[in-house]
Amino acid sequence: MIHITPLDAQLSAELDALKQAGTYKALRTISSPMDTSVSMEGRDNILILSANNYLGLANHPQVIQAGKDALDAYGAGTASVRFICGTFTIHAQLEAALAGLHRTGAAITYPSCWQANTGIIPALTGEQDVIIADALNHASLIDGCRMSKARRMIYKHADMDELKTKLIEAQGARRILVVTDGVFSMEGSIAPLPEIVSLCKEFGATLMMDDCHGVGAIGEYGRGTAEYFGLEGEVDIISGTLGKALGGAAGGYICASQPIIDMLHQISRPQLFSNALPATVAASSLKAIEILNNEPQRLVRLREVVRQLREGLTALGFNPLEGNSAIIPIIIGETADAIAMSKKLLEQGIFITGFGFPVVPEGAARLRIQACATLTDAQIDRALDAFAAVKKK
């Protein structure tokens, strides 16, 4: 018999409350590869508009084959952290490709961008330092900042006057680290990078940008926010993920100067105390970067898909938040309403997650539509028809 502890009973009551409020997050199980259309819980041909699969590479034959070849070449994994005996040649190849992609001197991979963000910020900053962060930064950046002993300051989302005020206040610190997303994951907005770069230069601050939703999504060639603004090589530290446009498996990285990367190998705790990125994932991501570099037409198509979705949704009377990224959020308001609308869309065969508190602020629950370069015109029409049907109801 299963023993119910007092903690289980407490948690069950809390979970029931979430269910009652309509804010419980139910997992949807997919039984086919991630693609624009998947098999979900016994239903085929469910259109996915909620994946970070911006370039449609998660199910690309070459990306899959590269992973299989790496499995043959390297086995299941390193059975070690990087500095002990967990560095395979494929890690070095991938890191060289990432440094090339972001035009930085060097790169280091982690098993996730969560680990990269929480692994670098406390490694580079301490009691004598100041971190200045955008209020809407991703949770992994927020946690990374919290893990540091540095003094923390927050500026209102994209408010450059406030950033300047904080930079003035921070003068005298040993190091000042400004931390921002490139593309903000829940808003789809793009950071005002030219102003941020110039303020950081003026006040001697180091700039770290998380570009998980920028890479493979914006910039003419998909090199992300720095490319979008013509500022490649101007951001000191770029963190990114291999779990979105670059293959979609998992994995994260930091691109920065050689001294920063060398120091992370010495002291970044997830590097020292956690296993290396699996070789299969490294190989798939390396192939994804090659495809990104060789097939700029995927970016052209992605921009076209975003345009069609934005125009179609606006014509139907929805008001997506403004933006130029591949993220198209529609604010619904209450969490329960966003989840209910997501369920109604699923009845129509369209999967779009409803996001509510605590992922976004209370009262700002939303549907977050994410474009994919391999969505066909017919699939886009089908999605818009579903939105029209749900609106009518």
Ligand X SMILES: Cc1ncc(COP(=O)(O)O)c(C=O)c1O
Nearer residue to ligand X within complex by CB, 30 or 389: 30
Give min distance, CB of 184 to ligand X, in A: 8
User: Which value, in Å, is the radius of gyration of the alpha carbons in the chain?
Assistant: 21
Q: Helix, strand, coil shares of the chain as percentages rounded to 5? A: 45, 15, 40
Interface mask (CB under 6 A) for ligand X, residues 123-142, using x and -?
---------------x-x--
**Cβ-based neighbour number of residue 72 at 10 Å:** 8
Are the beta carbons of 224 and 72 closer than 8 angstroms? no
Are the beta carbons of 224 and 213 closer than 8 angstroms? no
Peptide bond into 361 cis (omega under 30): no
Stretch touching ligand X by CB under 6 A, among 128-136, 155-163, 210-218, 336-344: 210-218
Q: Is 114 in the site for ligand X (CB under 6 A)?
A: yes
Nearer residue to ligand X within complex by CB, 167 or 249: 249
Are the beta carbons of 384 and 312 closer than 8 angstroms? yes
Q: Is 243 in the site for ligand X (CB under 6 A)?
A: yes
Three-class SS state of 38? strand
Stretch touching ligand X by CB under 6 A, among 109-117, 264-272, 304-312, 378-386: 109-117
What are 293's two structure tokens?
A: 């570099």
Q: Is 277 in the site for ligand X (CB under 6 A)?
A: no
Q: Is 268 in the site for ligand X (CB under 6 A)?
A: no
The residues in 80-99 that bind ligand X, with binding defined as CB under 6 A, are none
Give the residue from 127, 87, 126, 109 showing the smallest Cα distance to 261. Answer: 109
Q: How do strand 350-351 and strand 43-48 relate by DSSP bridges? A: parallel
Residues labelled as active-site residues: 185, 213, 244
d(CA 55, CA 42): 26
Q: Is 112 in the site for ligand X (CB under 6 A)?
A: yes
> Of residues 187, 210, 227, 236, which one binds ligand X by CB under 6 A?
210
Give min distance, CB of 52 to ligand X, in A: 7
> Of residues 46, 51, 97, 113, which one binds ligand X by CB under 6 A?
113
For the CA atoms of 129, 130, 136, 142, the dihedral, rounded to the nearest 10 degrees, stands at: 30
Give min distance, CB of 112 to ligand X, in A: 3
Q: Is 252 in the site for ligand X (CB under 6 A)?
A: yes
> Of residues 53, 78, 109, 241, which one binds ligand X by CB under 6 A?
241
Q: Is 284 in the site for ligand X (CB under 6 A)?
A: no
> Of residues 120, 131, 212, 373, which one binds ligand X by CB under 6 A?
212
Residue 48, H or E segment: strand 43-48
Are the beta carbons of 230 and 194 closer than 8 angstroms? no
Nearer residue to ligand X within complex by CB, 145 or 380: 145
Provide the binding-site residues for ligand X, judged by CB under 6 A: 112-114, 117, 138, 140, 181, 185, 210, 212-213, 241, 243, 252
